[in-house]
Structure 1
Amino acid sequence: MGLMGQLLGALFGSGRNVVAETAEVFRINAEAQAQRGHDAQGAALAQMAGEFRVVRRSWFDRFMDALNRVPRPAMALGTLGLFVTAMVDPVWFAARMAGIALVPEPLWWLLGAIVSFYFGARHLSKGQDFQRDLAATMAAVPQVVQTVRNVEALRDVTPGDGPVEPAGFETPLNNPALADWRSGRG
């Protein structure tokens, strides 16, 4: 082997590419960077999906959730009912409001704290449910994208073309086992 063969063998031989390896010291490998980004995103989605697993709820949990939906509409409808009552029977309404005026201020503060904590906890709970549903949806994105690609690939297929090979799959032309199998069927 000549001098040039030895030099080229040293640079590109034994499955290595010294030039490419040296260039990667100064500039990142775009393909490897994209793969690392894909792996990181997949790991983040897997972690998020694990944190927000959908849990089957019992009948008691569903009943309590329905019961928790009652106070807000009841307060809104009750307030509207007070306005209607004030117009229909002002004397009855005035007697009730005079009774409310006798409630001590610390009791109003306590009622305000209870209502604030109730609605704050409800908001937090619903926010966590939303995050859980969002994580489940985001985890399904790769499968949906692949399904859309598979369906779009079928646009170019006409009925007489024969079987459609999946993307990235090539039928080997000189496969003796496949040729033997085909001859046995035909």
Structure 2
Amino acid sequence: MGLIAAIVEAVFGGGRNVIRETAEVFRENAESGAARGADARAQAMQQFGAEFAGQRRSRFDAIMDGINRLPRPMMALGCIGLFIAAMVAPVWFAERMQGIALVPEPLWWLLGVIVSFYFGARYQAKGQAFQRDIARSLSRAPQVVESIEDLRGLRTPDSRVGAQDETGADANPALRDWGRDRGAQR
């Protein structure tokens, strides 16, 4: 028995686990790796949230944002207006379309590039603003989790299903009756 105890003491003694320590040389400890990953993500989110915290938009930014919102509705309403004009005043509409037919093709290509860049830049700006909003929301996640834990701590022992009172009996009368009926059936 002394030999086995000496081997176990050599492998597991002194608060160490030689087998685990040796295995961790070849394979990462999954639990420690997950903890390090969670810490890295939390720090990145805090840094990202701090970068955009407290930014206020100026009146100029709000006005320019409003102006930037005009082209899409104006183009949509303009197309609908052309359909209405074609039905209401076909001669007037035909005169205008003859004028558009005289526009050279390179000018149409230029218009296409301008519209594409406008909508592409707008899409990118709105996407970045959306990412900032998500980062701001995610930076609040630890506070929400803490609040939920605080609220769960306010629960009384009697509010849990299967809770027992001081005598050891079920505090829930329905569970007490159910248990009595199950005991009678056996």
Alignment map for 1:66-145 (pairs within 5 Å): 66-145=66-145
Q: Distance in 1 between matches of 2:107 and 2:77?
A: 23
Q: CA deviation at 1:33?
A: 3.6
Q: Distance in 2 between matches of 1:94 and 1:116?
A: 28
Code of the aligned partner of 2:81: G
Question: Higher relative contact order at CA 8 Å, sep ≥6: structure 1 or structure 2?
Answer: 1
Unmatched tracts of structure 1, length 5 or more: 159-186
Q: CA deviation at 1:21?
A: 5.0
Cα shift readout 1:115-174 (whole Å, capped 9, x = no counterpart): 00000000000000000001111111111011011112212178xxxxxxxxxxxxxxxx
TM-score (norm 2): 0.70
Count of residues in Structure 1 that have an aligned counterpart in Structure 2: 150
Unmatched tracts of structure 2, length 5 or more: 159-186
Q: Distance in 2 between matches of 1:63 and 1:157?
A: 56
Code of the aligned partner of 1:101: A
Cα shift readout 1:96-131 (whole Å, capped 9, x = no counterpart): 001110111111111111000000000000000000
Percent pairwise identity: 54
Indicate which of 21, 26, 37 corresponds to 1:24.
21
Q: CA deviation at 1:26?
A: 1.2
TM-score (norm 1): 0.70
| Structure 1 ranges of 4+ moved more than 6 A | none
Code of the aligned partner of 1:49: G
Partner of 2:37: 37
Code of the aligned partner of 1:116: S
